[in-house]
Amino acid sequence: MLSVQSSVSNARAQRQAGLSQKAKTGLIVAGSTVFSSAAYLLGTRWPTIGGMLEFGILGGGIPLALKGISLGVKGYIESKKYRFNLERVIGSGAMGTVVRVYDRLEEKTRALKFPLGEMLINPDYRDAMTRFYFEADVCERLSHPNILKGHGLLWVPTKVFNRFTGEKLDPGQVPAVPAIIMDYLEGMTLRDKISQIQRDLYHEGLSISYGCGIALQLTEVLIYLRENKLIHRDLKPDNIMMCPLHEMLDTSIPQDVRVTIASLGERAVVFDFGVARLEGPEGGFGTRTGMGIGSPYYMPDEQWKGKAQKESDVYSVGAILWECITGKPPRGYINEGETALDYSTRAAQPVPAIEPFLPIDVPLADKEILQKIFNNTLHPDPRMRYQNLGLLKEDLGSLSFVGRAQQTRIGQFPTLVRQEEEK
Ligand SMILES: Nc1ncnc2c1ncn2[C@@H]1O[C@H](COP(=O)(O)OP(=O)(O)O)[C@@H](O)[C@H]1O
Ligand SMILES: [Mg+2]
């Protein structure tokens, strides 16, 4: 199990050292040696926050400084090869831009996630920058087949950043921009999968077995995040990539996780830890107390009220499963603005009934299990949601059609007819 505690202390150390303040102006490299300056200008990995801590700028100690110099030399040498070739923008979200790159050193396609240019110059975005560095740290430390793997930070010259993102940062003011190096995820987001099926096949949702196969993989993610005391806070179809399985799964992956992935025939990979936090009152640095953060359709009331807890992610998994089956999240029947307003003014809503959305041929036992799953994930009271995620896995696994997803690829789904429309 990885130590997330150390990432907290990193984050604290960074704050204490005023790092996020410096980062705003791109001066994170201030005080570095000629090696690291050369390296960051040429776009190599050095210096990372971890590297800086080791180097002793923030921590201290001659042995660490020596290690830092040797890493700096390595970075300088790597930089001569222009290690990363930026190819094209592959995504942009509310907090930044993702660019596809080719890593010449490792001979692999990778992705770089940049913050918004504004985040580097506007003091109002200091919290967002703190979360950006936390995301880099979390992705690097976590290791799970259903979670996007990160490889630390890269400093990219501002000119290159401007060219690829269309931003207009002044290189005089901000010499280099940090980017999170990540594995490149081949596939389609769950959001696009849902849209595709609605557009091309006029289905409201994906097949139930496919949705439950995804929910099982997300449950594995939650189990792992709990072990590491992390809350994702932004689980939604837009932040899940459905990746084709090209090869046998690594045998170091726990057997039941492998079975879960193999039975769906696709790997659901969770990414975007941009608003993730540690459990407990101390864990939410970078968000003011009482501030709701997340995506209204997929977050429960308590999260909207700034009290996200581990059970909040359980709600999100229920909401995603609901959307897979019905085509809309449980709260998706009004526009997002209204939903947000509802949270602050309206009394908690009861868990909706799934039955009207299920095809008539779903066995009664399965209908009951599905309703039980929704009752225990979408419940307005977090204490009434699954505390033991093993039970959620069991419930999902006990559905008669789960594990038969391989036979129901896109284009072969049984027609889903809403019962109410049949009448
Ligand atoms: N590692 C990756 N590989 C491939 N595409 C990615 C990767 N990371 C992000 N993307 C694409 O970029 C989009 C935005 O990334 P995300 O991390 O969600 O940013 P934001 O925090 O701005 O929402 C995603 O919806 C996805 O399509
Ligand atoms: Mg996102």
- Threshold 0.85, pTM exceeds: no
Q: Are residues 390 and 258 in the same domain?
A: yes
The verdict on residue 97 lying in a domain is: yes
Q: Are residues 69 and 115 in the same domain?
A: no
Cis peptide before 356 (omega within 30 of 0): no
Q: Are residues 267 and 135 in the same domain?
A: no
Count how many domains the chain has. 3
Q: 183, 218, 236: which is the final residue of a domain?
A: 183
What confidence score (pLDDT) does residue 312 get? 95
Q: Are residues 56 and 46 in the same domain?
A: yes
Q: 156, 183, 210: which is the final residue of a domain?
A: 183
* Atom number in ligand 1 closest to CA 96: 22
Q: Are residues 326 and 378 in the same domain?
A: yes
The verdict on residue 3 lying in a domain is: no
Q: 151, 183, 215: which is the final residue of a domain?
A: 183
Q: Are residues 384 and 258 in the same domain?
A: yes
* Atom number in ligand 1 closest to CA 271: 17
What confidence score (pLDDT) does residue 412 get? 33
Q: Are residues 170 and 104 in the same domain?
A: yes
Measured in angstroms, how far is the CA atom of residue 238 from the centroid of ligand 1?
8
The verdict on residue 56 lying in a domain is: yes
Closest C-alpha among 155, 397, 65, 95 to residue 260: 397
Per-residue pLDDT in tens (0 to 9) along the chain, 423 residues: 333 333 333 444 443 433 333 333 222 222 233 333 343 444 444 444 443 433 333 344 555 555 555 566 555 444 544 788 889 999 987 789 999 999 988 899 999 999 999 999 999 999 899 999 999 999 999 999 999 999 999 999 999 899 889 999 999 999 999 999 999 999 999 999 999 888 776 677 788 889 999 999 999 999 999 999 999 999 999 999 999 987 667 778 888 888 888 888 899 999 999 888 888 766 665 555 556 777 878 988 888 888 889 999 999 999 999 999 998 898 765 555 565 556 556 677 789 999 999 988 899 999 999 999 999 999 999 999 999 999 999 999 999 877 554 433 333 333 333 333 333
Q: Domain range holding 161? A: 83-183
- Ligand nearest the Cα of residue 101 is 1
Long-range contacts from 78-85, C-beta under 8 angstroms, 24+ separation? 78/39, 78/44, 78/45, 78/105, 79/38, 79/39, 79/41, 79/42, 79/43, 79/44, 80/42, 81/105, 82/42, 82/43, 83/43, 83/44, 83/45, 84/43, 84/110, 84/112, 84/154
The verdict on residue 16 lying in a domain is: no
What confidence score (pLDDT) does residue 123 get? 93
* Atom number in ligand 1 closest to CA 91: 12
Q: Are residues 196 and 178 in the same domain?
A: no
The verdict on residue 270 lying in a domain is: yes
Measured in angstroms, how far is the CA atom of residue 128 from the centroid of ligand 2?
14
The verdict on residue 45 lying in a domain is: yes
What confidence score (pLDDT) does residue 72 get? 60
CA distance 306 to 167: 32
Indicate which CATH number applies to the domain containing 311.
1.10.510.10
What confidence score (pLDDT) does residue 11 get? 41
Q: Are residues 119 and 72 in the same domain?
A: no
Q: Are residues 113 and 260 in the same domain?
A: no
What confidence score (pLDDT) does residue 423 get? 33
Q: Are residues 78 and 100 in the same domain?
A: no
Q: Are residues 54 and 103 in the same domain?
A: no
The verdict on residue 177 lying in a domain is: yes
Atom 17 of ligand 1 has which residue's CA nearest to it?
A: 272
